[in-house]
Amino acid sequence: MGARFKILLAAPLAAVLASCVSVLPEQPKPKALFDITAPAGTTDLSANVVIREPDAPRLFASRNITSVGPQGGFQLVPGISWVDRSTRLLQITMIDSFSTGGEGIAVDDGAGVSGDAELYWRVTQFSLDGNEGVCSLQLTLLDGRSREPIAQTTVSSRSASEGKGPQARAGALSAAARECVDNGARFVSDAVDRMVAAE
C-alpha cells in the first residue's frame, strides 16, 4: 500500500516539474555577431612584448554591446553581440596589429613566454553614443624584468555609423576599436624603441 502510494504521488510530481522546466524563458539569441577585424600587422617591434588581456568594467568586458541611454546611463543593445568577450577581441586585435618582420614580436600572455616588455591596459570606454562608436584605452608598458612602468598614455577614438540600425552602429563601434588599438600599438612600438635605445 505504501509503495503504491509513493508511485501515485511521484507521477503527478514529475509532471509538475516537467511543466516548470518547459515554461522557463529561453535566452534571446543575437541576430548578428561582430568581430574586431585586426589591422594588417604593419607596426614593427624592436623587442618582444607580452600583451595581456585588458582589464575593463564588467559592463564592457562581456559579449554584450552597450550604448549610452537618453539619461546618460548604459543599456544593452538587443539582437547583436561580440563573437567573444570584447576584452579578448581587443587583445587579439592588439597582437595582430604588430608585424612579425621586426626584431621583436607580440605574444599572448597565456603563452607562458616572457618578454622584454609587457603591456598592461584598461578599457575605460567601449560603447555606442548615438550613432557613434566610442573607445578609450589606458595603456601602461612595463619592463619585462622589473615590472616597472616604462611609459603610459591614453588613446581614444570615435567612429560614425555608415547607416541606421543596431548592426550599422555595431560596425561603428568595431571601427572605433580598430582605430583605438592601432593608436595603442604605435604607442607601444615607440616606447619599446626608446627602451631598446636606452639599454
pLDDT the model gives residue 25: 44
> Which domains, ranges and CATH numbers included, belong to the chain?
30-198 (3.40.50.10610)
Per cent of the chain over pLDDT 90 is 61
Q: Which three cell numbers stand for residue 116?
A: 622584454
pLDDT the model gives residue 18: 43
pLDDT the model gives residue 5: 36
Task: Give the sign of the dihedral formed by CA 178, CA 175, CA 152, CA 196.
Answer: positive
pLDDT the model gives residue 134: 96
Residue spans of the chain under pLDDT 70? 1-28, 38-40
Conformation bin of residue 8: beta by default, left when phi > 0, alpha when psi is -120 to 50? alpha
- The terminus-to-terminus CA distance of the chain in angstroms comes to 89
Provide the whole-model pTM. Answer: 0.83
pLDDT digit string, tens, across residues 138-169:
999 999 989 999 999 999 999 999 888 888 99
pLDDT the model gives residue 164: 83
pLDDT the model gives residue 70: 77
Residue 140: CB atoms within 10 Å: 15
pLDDT the model gives residue 42: 85
